[in-house]
Amino acid sequence: MEHPIFFIDSLLESFGFHHPADFTHVTHMWLVMLLLILSALLFARGVQLLPKKGQNFFEVVVDGLESFMVEISGPEGRFFFPFIATVFLFILVSNLLGLVPGFFSPTANLNTTLALALCTFVYTHIIGIRFHGIKYIKHFTGSVWWLTPLMLPIEIIGHFARIMSLSVRLFGNIFGKEMVLGILFGLAGLYLAPLPILFLGILVSFIQALVFMLLSIMYFVGAMEHAH
């Protein structure tokens, strides 16, 4: 199958920057980060006491995400809201980017989703240590010492399985969306046949960002709770 042509790759090649095909997800990841940073700068510069339409929209989005998170984690979980909001927006924009002809979803590459899953994995244990200190080890050993040889390997495997669960689920769904849309546009793009799948792709993009965020919150809450 012929490799698709992406605008960013063509632009970089016109400046003499040649890179392998598997570097495409990195260039599009940079694009997503640039879009989010510029949007944040423009939004922050335009903040007013009496908000306008654009500010109202972003305030509703941020407040909705925070309220959703606080209902699950409680008020003590507000400190990790910046991480949760950033991950959600990054994944959502990355997922939606692939719906634009000539662009690619960074989350359709396992390297991107694995990096996101590792961030959540590491931050989960940072939260656990922050709340419990050295006693966080009880989350792995259990409250009964003689069950430690059984509980410790099970808990370690379970925690590392979260990385696979987060990364493969997101990658599989977005990669499948990209493949279906690519095939349909190639076969019947002139007849608007892919439009229903395009709307379904928007729904899948939002749901997968929400699922990743929800699972991350649940892992964080589990690290905050006392071991049983």
In this prediction, residue 148 carries a pLDDT of 76
Measured distance CA(46)–CA(84) in Å, rounded: 24
pLDDT band at 62 (very low <50, low <70, confident <90, very high): confident
| pLDDT at residue 65 is higher than 80 | yes
Average of pLDDT values for 40-65? 72
In this prediction, residue 182 carries a pLDDT of 73
- The token pair at 208 is 């997968």
pLDDT band at 161 (very low <50, low <70, confident <90, very high): very high
| pLDDT at residue 22 is higher than 50 | yes
**Single-letter code of the amino acid located at 13:** E
| pLDDT at residue 3 is higher than 60 | no
pLDDT band at 209 (very low <50, low <70, confident <90, very high): very high
Nearest C-alpha neighbor of 140 from the set 123, 128, 131, 130: 128
Average of pLDDT values for 26-53? 78
* Helix H or strand E encompassing 176: helix 148-188
Average of pLDDT values for 97-105? 84
